Chains A and B, each alone.
Chain A
Amino acid sequence: SQQGEEDPQALSIQEGENATMNCSYKTSINNLQWYRQNSGRGLVHLILIRSNEREKHSGRLRVTLDTSKKSSSLLITASRAADTASYFCATPKTETSGSRLTFGEGTQLTVNP
């Protein structure tokens, strides 16, 4: 079963707008990761936030983590058509990289030019 659940399932916005996607999870985590998947391609690692961090930035991406609510959000600012993709949150079973990731169902983002 999926640990992470993203919402919304689908999001359609205009180029230049901000996009916010949310992820909820059920068990305790050491870190939470966000991935992007373009249609027909593999997943690309975007950002990792540790359980002792509340916010993290990378370029136009901003991730927040609220461990008390077991939720995370991914904000993409000033969106571009090239940001159109599915976005997944994932949590590892343990802290090390030798740990299976559990993915959510994903949010399909469409950025209209």
Chain B
Amino acid sequence: GAGVSQSPRYKVAKRGQDVALRCDPISGHVSLFWYQQALGQGPEFLTYFQNEAQLDKSGLPSDRFFAERPEGSVSTLKIQRTQQEDSAVYLCASSLALRGHGYTFGSGTRLTVV
């Protein structure tokens, strides 16, 4: 596609509910990133995939967070047993694995845990 697509755009979850957030990167983009952005803050790194391999998951805040990219294209970020502090915008970005290229971000999923 022309850009990075994320769904759903908005998600309201009751505390304790599991959620799954989807990211469709630009076709052919090898690298895929997930970021978490709290209100009024800059994005914080969560995890990184190169093709289907998850090479860095050091930013995942707890074992309730899980990400996958089984076929090297679409990625899913899953949050189990959501808590209020998980409320944030979750951004997905993809890029070509070439030196000096910027990243293309999706519009994000705004998660509100009530």
Contact = CB atoms under 8 A, between A and B. Distances in A.
Given A42-B4, A105-B41, A105-B42, A98 B55 contact: yes
A43 B105 contact: yes
Given A100-B59, A103-B43, A106-B42, A45 B104 contact: yes
B97 interface: yes
Nearest to B33: A100
B97 A96 contact: yes
B45 A41 contact: no
B56 A100 contact: yes
B111 interface: no
A29 interface: no
B50 A88 contact: no
Interface string B29-63: 01101010000011111001010000110010000
Given A48-B100, A96-B97, A42 B45 contact: no
Contact of A50 (B56, B91, B100): B100
Given A45-B102, A48-B100, A50-B100, A98 B42 contact: no
A5 B4 CA distance: 27
A43 to B, nearest CB: 4
A64 interface: no
A27 interface: no
Contact of B102 (A33, A40, A100): A33
A77 to B, nearest CB: 21
Given A33-B102, A98-B97, A88 B42 contact: yes
A2 B59 CA distance: 12
Interface in A35-78: 35, 40-45, 48, 50
5 contacts: A45-B102, A45-B104, A45-B105, A97-B99, A98-B48
Interface of A: 2, 4, 31, 33, 35, 40-45, 48, 50, 88, 95-98, 100-106
